[in-house]
Amino acid sequence: MTYPPRVIPPGSTIGVLGSGQLGRMFAIAARRMGYRVHTLSPDYDTPTGQVADREVQAAYDDLDAVRDFARGVDVVTFEFENVSAAATEAAAEHAPVRPAGSVLHTTQHRLREKGFLAGAGFPVTPFAAVRSLDDLRAALAALGTPAVLKTAGWGYDGKGQVRIAAPGEAEAAWASLGGQEAVLEAFVDFDREVSVVAARGLDGSFAHFGVIENRHHRHILDVSTAPAAVPSGVEREAVAIARGILEGLGVVGVLAVEMFLTRDGRLLVNELAPRPHNSGHLTFDACVTSQFEQQLRAICGLPLGSPELLRPAAMANLLGDLWSGGEPDWAAACRFPDVKLHLYGKADARPGRKMGHLTALAGTVEEARERVVAARSALAGPA
């Protein structure tokens, strides 16, 4: 198998497995730099497909379709990480896959991910593997309550999670996850949630977007702000953790590290995402190089760009719930001149579904937060 030269230059074709908003914003960044983009997913007329050069509709486990897809591109990357090892191996027969399938294999399963993190000495929330009701009872006795039981695979945005307030709730909690392999975590009474979105180039170079602060609503990211209001020591440690993780996993591309900052100033890694991340969306408008362009540069073997934040920024997600009273009033949000509107081209506005986001730039983080929340409120129309 011969791979293309080290640098995959503009004019080449990037294959994206997955077709949601992350792929869409990646495709916009890639096309701006003169690349072509193909996307593969089981869906059609997708957020990524709408802006890609080619949209292939196939199941991720249709290995012949994945091989065909990889044959037509110069490098394969992801916007959806729950792709099987068999699919990434099939793709790798025909094109470099970045980040490698091994990175996805680790991060798509909470026990493998936590095993890697704890084994490498990174600080993680106290946890225990749970494969039976007896395991769960033992884990609750060891970790105490409250605790959170999470399925080991296929969880995101709080799906596949149940909070356990007292040991007596074990049976119901185990049943509610359908008896799937799970992980029990001690409940962290955190001060705030933060993330570090970082990139590692083909040559091992490293760049990060600093610490971003994240507020969730009903387990879904609601508002992110940058820079996070954390002491410089915490920032240094968060970035060092992220760097160690990208290096430990041998990532080529972008990876986001979600962390809890405890009330006594400790950082605990909650989750890894081996791709651009919702908390990094503000980099699209607020940084010299966005997380999407950084992913492109990394997987193409180009030098990483400057991640410098040009102005304090805030991002607010637009969920499908906003459509409950009809089409949002887009002009009202556009009346805020320092607010940028992003919509993902999704037709069906289901509650909880990520439909778009707003980014506000301002003189301070607090102003940016207020501005983005005000612009989002204006979408609902006059009160």
> Quick one: angle between helices 63-71 and 85-92, nearest 10?
30
Judged by beta carbon, residue 161 or residue 289, the one nearer ligand AMP is 161
Q: How far is the CB of 315 from ligand AMP (least distance, A)?
A: 15
Task: Give the interface segment with ligand AMP, choosing from 49-57, 137-145, 151-159, 323-331 (CB under 6 A).
Answer: 151-159
Question: Segment 155-194, which members bind ligand AMP (CB under 6 A)?
Answer: 155-156, 158, 185, 187-188, 193
Residue closer to ligand AMP, measured from CB, 125 or 289: 125
Query: Total residues contacting ligand AMP (rule CB under 6 A)?
Result: 14
Read off the amino acid at residue 105: H
Query: For residue 59, what are the contacts with CB-CB under 8 A and spacing of at least 6?
Result: 42, 65
Q: What is the DSSP letter of 73?
A: -
Of 4 and 153, CB closest to ligand AMP = 153
Tokens of 33: 């730099």
Sheet holding 75-78, edge to edge: 54-57, 36-41, 13-17, 75-78
Report 242-281 residues binding ligand AMP (CB under 6 A): 258, 270-271
CB of 65 to ligand AMP, least distance (A): 30
In angstroms, rounded to a whole number, what is the distance separating the alpha carbons of residues 19 and 36?
Answer: 15
Identify which of 236, 217, 216, 240 has the alpha carbon closest to the alpha carbon of residue 227.
Answer: 236
Q: Is 216 in the site for ligand AMP (CB under 6 A)?
A: yes
Q: Does 312 bind ligand AMP (CB under 6 A)?
A: no
Query: Which residue from 77, 108, 125, 295 is in contact with ligand AMP, where contact means CB under 6 A?
Result: 125
- Binding segment for ligand AMP among 31-39, 153-161, 249-257, 301-309 (CB under 6 A)? 153-161
- Which residues have CB under 8 Å from 134's CB, separation 6+? none
x/- track of binding to ligand AMP for residues 337-366 (CB under 6 A) = ------------------------------
Does 219 sit near ligand AMP (CB under 6 A)? yes
Whole-number Å distance between alpha carbons of 55 and 38: 6
Hunting for tokens 């185990």 — which residue is that? Answer: 174
CB 198 within 8 A of CB 272: no
25 DSSP assignment: H
CB of 202 to ligand AMP, least distance (A): 29
Q: Which residues bind to ligand AMP, rule: CB under 6 A?
A: 125, 148, 155-156, 158, 185, 187-188, 193, 216, 219, 258, 270-271
